[in-house]
Structure 1
Amino acid sequence: MRFVLLGAGLFALSLFVMSGQMGVPSGLPLPVQVAIAGAAGVAAWHARRSWWPLAAVGAVTYAWLVVWPPLLVASYFAGRTLSRSRGIAAYVGACLVVCGVSAVVGEARDGLQEMLTASLGNALFMALGMIGLPLAVGLWTRARAEVLEAARERAQRLEREQVMRAEQARAQERARIAREMHDVVAHRVSLIVLHAGALEVRATDEETAETAAMIGGIGREALANLRDVLGVLRAPRTGAVDAGSRSRPAPGGHRPGSVLGDLDAGYRPQPTLGDLDRLLDQSRALGIAVTRRDEGEPRPVEETVERTAYRVIQEALTNVHKHAGGVPTDVLLRFGDGELEVEVRNQAPHAPPEELPGAGWGLVGLRERVELLGGSLRTSAEESGGFLVSARIPA
């Protein structure tokens, strides 16, 4: 659009100069003047691809009629595009030849054209004003644009380097966490599994053997989940990835659309509400009377919603084991309009249970997990002495 405006402006200015208002009257018929001005305008419009036609039109019109606007605009484009000093020197030399030809034509025509082009002072003034000044402006604007571009590239390069350093630091930290989890947590859980297996073999009564087998199964499941988490931490990927955000594997072990699809295909799928009864049975085997109730019309929901609901119930039951002992606990799943509500409510403990060590971040992590899906988590102690964990998750 700007080149269209440039062509229109140059057409009007050239026609104005040929009329004698800002230069030497051409004395040509109006149609010829319009044709010459039109050629200058078209050459200016074409300057977005090549400015040499504009320079040719400017040279002819200046030497013949002292129509200076095309040569002025061409000199600006020469300064903007000629990158080598040899090219600029060649352009200046060609312009001096044009000025010499203009002086010869001025001598032949006499009058105002001779005064403007043949006298040394006026010829120098015209050369500086129509060629030197726009050429210098073009060179300055190009140099300024190059400096700004270099500064922009430098800023982008520094930003990329900063991101790379941050990613490297994040990868190192993730690797350190993975090492600590493997060396400490995995080792301890492995010992639990081994001792449970030994107890199962040596147990003299069936109940002890079943309990030891259950402990060993839970430990092996914990090791499998821990392996998944360690794989996520060591995965060569950028950005935070939730260990529970993987989809179930397709036939052949590939997870379409999963950012972890290139990890070990033997990883087990993350639990969903379909695995909830097994989780409740494990708690019942440890002495907790767990009751499950479903309200509303059950319907399929996103797997991320199911996993989050499962984790809420799992953490709530873990807290019941740790802080309330074997007290009756109610688990409620309510399918509402556009949301899934999960409630875990336990009764007051009969006696203070033995407190098990914990990191204290379970509910904090649950709240973050639920809020990432746009939901909310509420935890509160009840007047009866029990405790409630309630989550609302958009579904």
Structure 2
Amino acid sequence: MRFVLLGSGVFAASLLVVQGQVGVPSSLPLPVLAAISAASGVAAWQVRRSWWPLAVVGAVGYAWLVMWPPLMVASYYAGLTLGRGRGIAAYLGGCLAVCGISALVGEWQDGAHRLATASPANAVAMALAVIGLPLALGLWVRARREVLEAARERAERLEREQVMRAEQARSQERARIAREMHDVVAHRVSLIVLHAGAMELRAADDDTARSAAMIAGIGREALANLRDVLGVLRSPPHELLGEDAGGARRPPPTLDDLDRLLDQTRALGIAVTRHDEGEARPVEASVERTAYRVVQEALTNVHKHAGNAGADVRIRFGTDVLEVEVRNEAPPPPHEEPRSPHGEPHSPREEPRPPREELPGAGWGLIGLRERVELLGGTLRTNTQDGGGFLVSARIPA
């Protein structure tokens, strides 16, 4: 559309010039003048492909009829495209030749043509207005475009470098975390598994042996999960996006693994009851993983803070939401030792049991769980119940 308007403007301006309204009038018939002006307009319309036809039409029209619009537009595009050395010099040489021919034609035709092109002052003014200024404008526009393009490329390069540096820093931090987890956490969990296995072999009764076996099994599962996490931390980003064709990793737990988690919790002495409501249906894997983590964290808190209090796990499938509730009873009151009438314990040799110590990192589980649920657009609600129990409830869009 822009070049159509340019061609129409050059046609109209050229026709006005040759008719004498804004230039030197010509004695040629109007149809001939209209055809010449139309040729100038078509050449200007095609200037996006090549500006040389417009320059030729402009040179002939200026030398013969002092028709300056096409030569002015051609000079602008010459400044946009020609090299700053020989190309510009050759174009200026050709324009000087056109001005000389126009001066000779003006001397031959006399009148207004001679006044416009053969007079030295007018010839210089016309050359500057028709050739010099448009050429300088084209050179300035091209220089500005080159500066902006260079600035854009530099900004893109700096952005790419910044992304690469950030990715490198993330990779180094992931590797550092993986090393720390491997050297510290995995080592300590391995020691727990080894000691539990030794305890199972040396146990004097079946209950102790079963408890030691359960501890060893949970520790081995923790090592497997830790190995999966370390594999994720050490994986390049493109492998995390599903492009990894390497070895298989253990899939993250889903609702299908919930019964195994409940069995492990029951083995710790906590009475857990599961209730399923609604028609079970497939949901997104991320939703199932989050629901599993909600139950896992809630039952862990029951074991840490409520002792052997019973818990109810409720999974409710809605039309567009998955609800998970874990409600535990109030923790049992601490056992008081029988005392003598004087207030002394009956067994002076037995020392009172020390209070339960708070585990390192306590308090962060529910915060991370809330973030995990909210990332999926859900909500997590935790509050104390009447009678001393506790409720963890999550609603996850599914």
- Tell me which interval the TM-score lies in, with the shorter structure as reference length: over 0.9
1:337 aligned residue: 319
Residues 1:72 and 2:72 are matched in the alignment: yes
Unaligned 5+ runs, structure 1: 239-256
Question: Among 289, 293, 314, which residue is 1:311 paired with?
Answer: 293
Contact 1:295–1:335, Cα closer than 8 Å, also in 2: yes
1:392 aligned residue: 395
1:354 aligned residue: 356
> What secondary structure does 2:77 align onto?
helix
2:273 aligned residue: 291
Contact 1:231–1:263, Cα closer than 8 Å, also in 2: no
Contact 1:289–1:328, Cα closer than 8 Å, also in 2: yes
Q: Following superposition of structure 1 onto structure 2, how do residues 230-241 of structure 1 map, counting pairs within 5 Å?
A: 230-237=230-237
1:26 aligned residue: 26
Pick which of 167-176 and 334-343 moved more. 167-176
Unaligned 5+ runs, structure 2: 335-354
Q: CA deviation at 1:197?
A: 1.5
State the percentage of identical aligned residues: 74
1:268 aligned residue: 250
1:114 aligned residue: 114
Pick which of 384-393 and 114-123 moved more. 114-123
Contact 1:323–1:355, Cα closer than 8 Å, also in 2: no
- Partners of 1:195 and 1:303 lie apart in 2 by 36
Runs of 4+ residues deviating >4 angstroms: none
> What secondary structure does 2:276 align onto?
strand
Q: Following superposition of structure 1 onto structure 2, how do residues 18-57 of structure 1 map, counting pairs within 5 Å?
A: 18-57=18-57
- Partners of 1:83 and 1:181 lie apart in 2 by 62
- Partners of 1:143 and 1:103 lie apart in 2 by 33
Q: Which amino acid aligns with 1:104?
A: L
- Partners of 1:392 and 1:109 lie apart in 2 by 94
Deviation track 1:197-231 (CA, whole Å, cap 9, x = no partner) reads 12222223322222222111111111111111111
1:282 aligned residue: 264
Q: Which amino acid aligns with 2:140?
A: W
- Partners of 2:297 and 2:285 lie apart in 1 by 18
Q: Following superposition of structure 1 onto structure 2, how do residues 112-191 of structure 1 map, counting pairs within 5 Å?
A: 112-191=112-191
Q: Which amino acid aligns with 1:121?
A: A
Q: CA deviation at 1:115?
A: 1.3
1:247 aligned residue: none
- Partners of 1:387 and 1:72 lie apart in 2 by 85
- Partners of 1:44 and 1:151 lie apart in 2 by 31
2:97 aligned residue: 97
- Partners of 1:165 and 1:348 lie apart in 2 by 52
- Partners of 2:299 and 2:360 lie apart in 1 by 14
Q: CA deviation at 1:83?
A: 2.5
1:241 aligned residue: none
Normalised to the residue count of structure 1, the TM-score between the two structures is 0.92
In structure 2, do the counterparts of structure 1 residues 272 and 320 end up closer, same or farther at CA, with 3 Å as the change threshold?
same
- Partners of 2:94 and 2:387 lie apart in 1 by 100
Contact 2:14–2:40, Cα closer than 8 Å, also in 1: yes
Question: Among 291, 300, 307, which residue is 1:325 paired with?
Answer: 307
- Partners of 2:165 and 2:92 lie apart in 1 by 50
Contact 1:271–1:307, Cα closer than 8 Å, also in 2: yes
1:17 aligned residue: 17
- Partners of 2:175 and 2:83 lie apart in 1 by 51
- Partners of 1:166 and 1:200 lie apart in 2 by 49
- Partners of 1:297 and 1:186 lie apart in 2 by 40
Contact 1:78–1:135, Cα closer than 8 Å, also in 2: yes
**When the two structures are aligned, how many residues end up with a matched partner?**
377
2:368 aligned residue: 365
- Partners of 2:242 and 2:48 lie apart in 1 by 49
Q: CA deviation at 1:159?
A: 2.0
- Partners of 1:160 and 1:78 lie apart in 2 by 36
Question: Among 346, 355, 375, which residue is 2:378 paired with?
Answer: 375
Q: CA deviation at 1:264?
A: 4.9
2:87 aligned residue: 87
- Partners of 1:260 and 1:130 lie apart in 2 by 63
- Partners of 1:361 and 1:385 lie apart in 2 by 22
> What secondary structure does 1:332 align onto?
strand
2:283 aligned residue: 301
Q: CA deviation at 1:84?
A: 3.0
Q: CA deviation at 1:358?
A: 3.2
1:242 aligned residue: none
Contact 1:380–1:388, Cα closer than 8 Å, also in 2: yes
- Partners of 1:217 and 1:268 lie apart in 2 by 16
Contact 2:308–2:332, Cα closer than 8 Å, also in 1: no
In structure 2, do the counterparts of structure 1 residues 308 and 2 end up closer, same or farther at CA, with 3 Å as the change threshold?
same
- Partners of 2:195 and 2:243 lie apart in 1 by 34
- Partners of 2:105 and 2:180 lie apart in 1 by 90
